[in-house]
Amino acid sequence: MKFLKDPPRFLFFTGKGGVGKTSVACASAIELATRGRRVLLVSTDPASNIGQVFGLTIGNTVTPIDAIAGLNALEIDPEQAADAYRERIIAPVRGLLPERELAGIAEGLSGSCTTEVASFDEFTNLLTDDSLLATYDHIVFDTAPTGHTIRLLQLPGSWTEFLDAGKGDPSCLGPLSGLEKHKKVYAAAVAALADPARTRLVLVARAQASALSEIDRTHGELAQIGIRGGYVVINGVLPKAAGTEPMALAVRRRERAALNGLPASLATLPLDTLELKARNMVGVDALRSLFRAGGNGAAESQAVAEVPDAPLGQFVDELEQAGHGLILCMGKGGVGKTTIAAALAVSLAQRGHAVHLTTTDPAAHLVDTLHGTVPGLRVSRIDPQEAIREYRNHVMTTKGTTLDAAGRAALAEDLLSPCTDEVAVFRQFSRAVHESRHEFVVVDTAPTGHTLLLLDATGSYHREIARQMGENMSFVTPLMRLQDPELTKVLLVTLAETTPVLEAEELQHDLQRAGIQPWGWIVNNSIAAARPETPFLQSRAANEVTQIDRVSDHADRVAIVPLLADEPIGVDRLTALTAPSRG
């Protein structure tokens, strides 16, 4: 493996959910320990569970992996870190402010920005602690800090003074309150990250366009703040052992096309390819096989437990009964939201309804997916970049006019955050919510539960309207429409894999906190539902059954879409996705 040749002290593995970061990080730690090195394996990924991989309880204490001499592990729980972080900020003002204001502050500190900074606060010690550095030859991190996290830690001026002066009320400065005393420690940690002699960045992806785009974005973000270079690992490439049935041949075609379109910035980096294995990467023996080509062994045909017969068409039958409404397809990148949204919109239009299909996803290509027109179907795109530019200009020309130069610089930096992006897109998204009173509006990607709560709890649109209208006036805001199950149907799209299901569970929890109950779940690209013929794919299908059962435990309704031999592009193939039951 190129990425494990002459490794420095710190190795960071990053990439989108579900690509196998944890497996690659764990296998790398085992390999380094086998070479006689002293290794600490650290997870900062909320969707990661290295304890489960090794069959041990690890948690937030350094734990020896007895099966591997020289290997220890540690799991940093991002939510616990964020809880402790929020408490440090809120504790000094508890008893001084009304409970309602404290609740608003807590909600403002509930998003990804706080979690990222809190996690970075935790593992900063691992980068700078002299005793740890004397104990271990290598520290392997499952998940690296994002470029956004590091930019937050490099904000100009004094965070504490900026906030105490009442200037720091936008989305992401809250998490930095009171951290002035840590700036020197953070600067040392960032310097370690930017030094290739001490740190190596490993970008993990699958041979899929969305996963490759994600590591390309991460690579560019980190390069902007001085962390350059890196290694690329393409994980889970379908091996020859998968056979030559139509589904396997189709997957190989898709993988080749994705790798042929590798972004230019990644094409210059050292690259390793790892084969997909028939079994899950759980246990030391399985992890040792990850870096071995052809390490799948001889697979035998096996009966795969029947998954529920749950066609997507049943969802359409129920959705159309109201005659109009808002349908939100939500989920992490790479699960197929765009395809599902397009299939639902096409089916509703073919049944004679007026349908507006729109996306807030900058990576979505609705026109390419449709590859044609349908009477009654209108397609549009909410341009996130345009929305963000408009919102930033608005904030800088209002709040920014009262600040000094340092304050304006800090405000401009904060407006680069993902939280700000979500709020900006929501402003345009609200127009689509309004249209759904008269027609079907199908949205590919929607604001997260945290965005909705942030808007509500900080006195934004919903609260402002409530204040202006008074208790005796009736009004309906976009948030209220999203909370009304008669007006809005939220569909969570996922894959029958551990990480995507866990991420969808977290999204459901977020939405429920905002008073929004998901209407149904869609398990997309299921190998088990496709009824594979070869032993290798049957083994993969068997792994899905547990995750499908887990989805069924959470969902009021479930639809399962099989992995198809041909990509569902074009009206005819999208129509086939909502065809009646397979019988």
Question: What amino acid positions are annotated as catalytic residues?
Answer: 18, 20-23, 45, 499
Alpha carbons 251 and 237: distance in angstroms, whole number: 9
Residue 216 carries which side chain, given as an amino acid letter? D
Coil, helix or strand for 73?
strand
Alpha carbons 321 and 94: distance in angstroms, whole number: 49
Beta-bridge partners for 321: none
Pairing relationship of beta strands 63-64 and 71-75 according to DSSP bridges: antiparallel
Please, which residues have CB within 8 angstroms of residue 173's CB and are 6 or more apart in sequence?
155, 159, 162, 163, 410, 414
For the chain, the first-to-last Cα distance in angstroms comes to 47
356 CA to centre of own chain:
26
Record the tokens describing residue 507, joined without a space.
């999204």
407 CA to centre of own chain:
31
Record the tokens describing residue 32, joined without a space.
């380094």
Residue 397 carries which side chain, given as an amino acid letter? T
Of 507, 395, 384, the closest CA to residue 460 belongs to 395
Instruction: Look at the block and give the residue holding tokens 């996130």.
Output: 384
Alpha carbons 194 and 172: distance in angstroms, whole number: 23
Q: Measured between alpha carbons, how far is residue 63 from residues 60, 74, 187, 570 in Å?
A: 9, 6, 29, 52
Please, which residues have CB within 8 angstroms of residue 377's CB and are 6 or more apart in sequence?
345, 346, 349, 355, 357
CB atoms within 10 A of CB 53: 25
Is there a contact between 475 and 466 (Cβ–Cβ < 8 Å)? yes
Q: What are phi and psi of 22, to 5 degrees?
A: -60, -45
Of 189, 188, 187, 215, the closest CA to residue 203 belongs to 215
Alpha carbons 11 and 351: distance in angstroms, whole number: 54
Of 151, 147, 178, the closest CA to residue 162 belongs to 178
What percentage of the chain's residues is helix, strand, coil (to nearest 5)? 50, 15, 35
Residue 141 carries which side chain, given as an amino acid letter? F
Please, which residues have CB within 8 angstroms of residue 353's CB and are 6 or more apart in sequence?
320, 323, 324, 376, 439, 440
Please, which residues have CB within 8 angstroms of residue 286's CB and are 6 or more apart in sequence?
277, 279, 280
Beta-bridge partners for 382: none
**Sheet hosting strand 10-14, strand order edge to edge:** 63-64, 71-75, 39-43, 138-142, 10-14, 199-206, 231-237, 271-275
